[in-house]
Amino acid sequence: MHLKRVKVVTDALDANATIARANRHDFDQASVTVINLMSSPGAGKTLLLERTLDEFDGPRVGVLEGDVQGSFDADRLARLHVPVTQINTDSGFGGECHLDANMVRSAIPSLPLNEIDLLIIENVGNLVCPAEFRVGEDMRVMVSSVTEGEDKPLKYPLMFRTCDLVLINKIDLLPHLDYDLDAFLHNLDLVHPDVPRMLVSARTGEGIEAWRDWLKHLPTHASALPVAATL
């Protein structure tokens, strides 16, 4: 039984990788750079996007919003007059806890690829499954909130190991928490040494300009990663 389960999982990931390559081809043909934005639930991805995209003077951005149910986050982002497309994983996908390549492929006809330069895919909040499923992105950005504790890189190493940038959010709460930032950064380096990271607060706006600059300097097809300051 164990061997059969391993084969089923391997086949599923192989099939996902094939579709992810097809997605990437379509994005490249449209000259659209794609970011897979991942985090645990409540880490602040949507507020971060609201703060980032409000009066953003960089590349033209579209958002693909992933949730199990509802359009709460998509409705918030649509108020910023950026194109937003919603994917609900309970609609025909069984209520999955992540987006996979096939879900993203089903949304491509609804994406205005000829009107945007950068697509940000806000994945379903989860620290496990999204790390395993490529969706055709150029790069991955992980949002980790200081309210989650310092041990998350050690408990969910794959999520942190597969990222190209880690945003440490909610730093405005640091004075009110028993949280050791140095310990978190040490744990992060244990699983992904020297991965770029930024300190941000989606609530106050601290660090947002540096994050915006990172987005503005993204290469068209991520042929070279932009450099983020290492803390």
The CATH number linked to 178 is: 3.40.50.300
Q: Domain count of the chain?
A: 1
pLDDT digits (tens, 9 = 90+) for 117-175: 999 999 999 999 899 999 999 999 999 999 999 999 999 999 999 999 999 999 999 99
Whole-angstrom CA distances from 127 to 56, 136, 189 are 28, 19, 18
Share the mean pLDDT of the chain.
90
Supply the pTM of this predicted model.
Answer: 0.89
Classify residue 29: in a domain, yes or no. yes
Give 205's pLDDT tier (boundaries 50, 70, 90). very high
| Domain that residue 139 falls in | 2-216
Classify residue 223: in a domain, yes or no. no
Classify residue 228: in a domain, yes or no. no
Q: How far apart are CA 44 and CA 141, in angstroms?
A: 13
CB atoms within 10 A of CB 230: 11
Classify residue 176: in a domain, yes or no. yes
Classify residue 222: in a domain, yes or no. no
